[in-house]
Amino acid sequence: MANLIGAALVTAAVGGVVLVAVTDEPDPSPAPTTSVERVIDGDTVEVLTGGRLEKVRLLNIDAPETTDCLHAEATDRLKSLLPNGSQVTLEYDVERTDRYGRLLAGVVKLDGTLVNAEVARSGLAAAITIGQNARFYPQVSSALSEAVAAGRGLHSREIACTLPAQVKVVTTAAEVPAPVATAAPAEWTQAADAARTAFSQAEALANPSGLVWTVLSAADQSLLRSLVTAALPKLEQREKAFRSEAAAAEKRAAEAVAEERRKAEAAAAAAAEEQRRRDAAAVQQQQRQQQQQQQRTPSPPQQTATQQPSNPYPGYNGPRCYEPGGKVWHPCSKR
């Protein structure tokens, strides 16, 4: 017989009349063993049972889908629990298949481990009920409580994609110390940008959805929502304050640059004036030295007029013929 009879017959004799009632009680008879062929994702496997390949959706858990946080981790966890070839027993509830034709079951290992609960214990699935199928919900919910207490998987504050971690980021950003008063404009701008980013994240977290949200208990949802609500105005105020400080720091920096330029120009002017003074002094010193040198140098003797040789021929006023050297002459004879 199947593990659960969807419409078991219960008979009783009343006044000689046989009454037949229909119930939805689990079938206590053992289910046949099944071989795991492959793990599809964190809550679905393919098995070989009764000579047929069947896809089995694990009851009362909801693991991350392909685009969800920790999808790969949930799939890997189920693979570690159910290596290919594992022998398991499928235990059913009221509804045995879903609209996709998959079997809906609790997957039990030969040692009695309920795999559905182990996935939840790792913090990699939410505890859910769909329709009338709630047979394994208590075990799954209890296992999930352990994951919540230990901060595992989707309940971790250290795994970036989880909701607790995202809320931690924005609440921390709302309390992080501001830059020191003398910080550079870039530091204030960076702090303002960080506050704006955290504010945008907080706005998105104000209306969360998806498995990262539904996996949380109502109490945790309420707590995280209150933390986000409190962080939003703080982050908005911090961004405005930091922008203002950045502008003030930029003004101070510009004034400091202008003052340094003024000092540099003044120093350059002073240096130029000092060089001009030194150059002028050097020119004056050179002129004095030249004057002193001129005073110390004796004047050359004055040239006296060349004495004309006396006339060796008194009374002769005729042409003169000079000997070589131009000092001795004699009357030029007529030829």
Could you read off the pLDDT of 39-91 as tens digits, one per residue?
999 999 999 999 999 999 999 999 999 999 999 999 999 999 999 999 999 99
Q: Whole-number mean pLDDT of the chain?
A: 87
Q: Residue 294 has what pLDDT?
A: 83
35 or 323: which leads in pLDDT? 35
Rounded to whole angstroms, how far apart are CA atoms 89 and 91? 6
Q: Is the pLDDT of residue 300 over 90?
A: no
- In the three-class reduction of DSSP (H, G, I as helix; E, B as strand; rest coil), residue 106 is classed as strand
Q: What is the pTM of this model?
A: 0.66
The tens digit of pLDDT for each residue in 234-246 reads 999 999 999 999 9
User: In angstroms, rounded to a whole number, what is the distance separating the alpha carbons of residues 109 and 76?
Assistant: 17
Please identify every residue annotated as catalytic.
57, 65, 102
pLDDT confidence of residue 9: 28
For 264-276, what is each residue's pLDDT tens digit?
999 999 999 999 9
- pLDDT recorded at residue 319: 83
pLDDT at 307: 56
Residues 6+ apart with CB under 8 A from 284: none
Predicted confidence (pLDDT) at residue 11 exceeds the cutoff of 90: no
Q: Span 265-294, mean pLDDT? A: 91
CB atoms within 10 A of CB 17: 7
Q: Are the CB atoms for 277 and 230 separated by under 8 Å?
A: no
Answer yes or no: is pLDDT of 20 > 90: no
Indicate the length of the chain as a whole number.
335
Task: Name the token pair of 122.
Answer: 């790792």
Residue 10 clears pLDDT 90, i.e. is over it: no
Q: What is the mean pLDDT of the segment spanning 243-252? A: 93
What band does 301 get if pLDDT is binned at 50, 70 and 90?
low
Asked if residue 108 has pLDDT above 90, the reply is: yes
pLDDT band with cut points at 50, 70 and 90 for residue 334: low
Alpha-carbon distance of 319 to 24, in angstroms, equals 175
**Whole-number pLDDT of residue 306:** 54
Residue 105 CB contacts under 8 Å (≥ 6 apart), including other chains:
56, 57, 58, 59, 90, 91, 92, 93, 96
Query: Average pLDDT in the 243-254 region?
Result: 93
Residue 303 CB contacts under 8 Å (≥ 6 apart), including other chains: none
- Poorest-confidence range of 12-26, 123-137, 265-279? 12-26
* Among the listed residues 265, 170, 154, the one whose alpha carbon sits nearest the alpha carbon of residue 220: 154
Q: Above pLDDT 90, what percent of the chain?
A: 72
More confident: 29 or 18: 29
Q: What is the pLDDT of residue 299?
A: 66
Give the pLDDT of residue 12: 33
